[in-house]
Amino acid sequence: MVSSTHSIVVPPSGGITIGQAAAFVGITVKTVRHYHRHGLLDEPRRDSSGYRRYGSADLLRLVQIRTLAAAGVPLAEAGPMLDADAEQFATALVDVERRLTERIAELNARRDTLRQLADGDRLLLPDRARAILDRLTAVGFDPDYVAGQREALVLARALAPKLFDLFLTQFEHRLDDPAFVDLTKRGWEARSWEPDDPRIAELADALADNLLADREHLAVPADFQSQPDDVARYGLINHHGEDRAATTSARLNALVEARLRAAGVPIPHQ
């Protein structure tokens, strides 16, 4: 005799409700209706009360669709696969597997990128550029100046990739010049000066003279093909941070550029 507290509910011979069908298969009612809308499962007949009644064939189809979807088969392809013959089904599975493999490779690449982001500059800058930043710190530049140069290097690599190695070479060369290092530090300290301070023009002349004394490191390769938007790229890189800096810094930079242009160095006008 079966206990009344553990009785087995036998669905009527006319089938089961959509809620029961979803529960039996392990999906939601919303998902079943989604399958209907996409034509993956025919709408079953309704009983005298107007409710859909699902039979064993419907549940089998639901299990098959759910299994394909869980395996990564797009719903738009699940229906044709289930209606295909054995050979077509096998071919479709191979294609789905190929796409999943490509997707896995893409996700692995994204995971590696995330891991590199945890290492700070390693993703944004190569070792050579990060070594330059370390040198700036070692020779006593202010941490805020180093941070600004880091941002400029990131921009240079992104906006002018063909010239980035040349830019690093020029940067390394300048850091070997104690006079340039001293003048650059003075330029950073000049942020606290008034914009009309006569020392700004004097410092600009000294910086320009220093750069012009080694003109070969101002040159661009003869085979370099300029782009129509080079002026905009140059401005974004070389004038980065001026909107956050004192007016003095912008004036100093403008004076140095003017001196270089007057000496024949092709510095773009902003």
Give pLDDT tens digits for 131-143. 999 999 999 999 9
Average pLDDT (9-19) is: 68
Percentage of the residues of the chain whose pLDDT score is greater than 70: 81
Residue 32 has pLDDT above 70, yes or no: yes
Average pLDDT (121-139) is: 88
Count the residues in the chain: 270
What lies within 8 Å, CB to CB, of 268 at 6+ separation is 230, 231, 234, 235
Average pLDDT (119-135) is: 82
The H-or-E segment that residue 90 falls in is: helix 86-117
27-41, 150-164, 196-210: the lowest-pLDDT one = 150-164
The pLDDT, as a whole number, for residue 5 is: 40
Residues 262, 226: Cα–Cα separation, whole Å:
21
Residues 131, 186: Cα–Cα separation, whole Å:
23
The pLDDT, as a whole number, for residue 50 is: 83
Task: Evaluate if pTM is beyond 0.85.
Answer: no
Give Cα 20 to chain centroid, integer Å: 45
Q: With the CA atoms of 198, 204, 205 and 211 taken in that order, what torsion angle do they form, in degrees rounded to the nearest 10?
A: 170
Average pLDDT (242-247) is: 62
The pLDDT, as a whole number, for residue 118 is: 56
Average pLDDT (45-49) is: 84
As a whole number, the mean pLDDT across the chain is 84
Residue 244 has pLDDT above 60, yes or no: no
* Greater model confidence, 195 or 73: 73
Give Cα 22 to chain centroid, integer Å: 40
Residues 248, 59: Cα–Cα separation, whole Å:
76
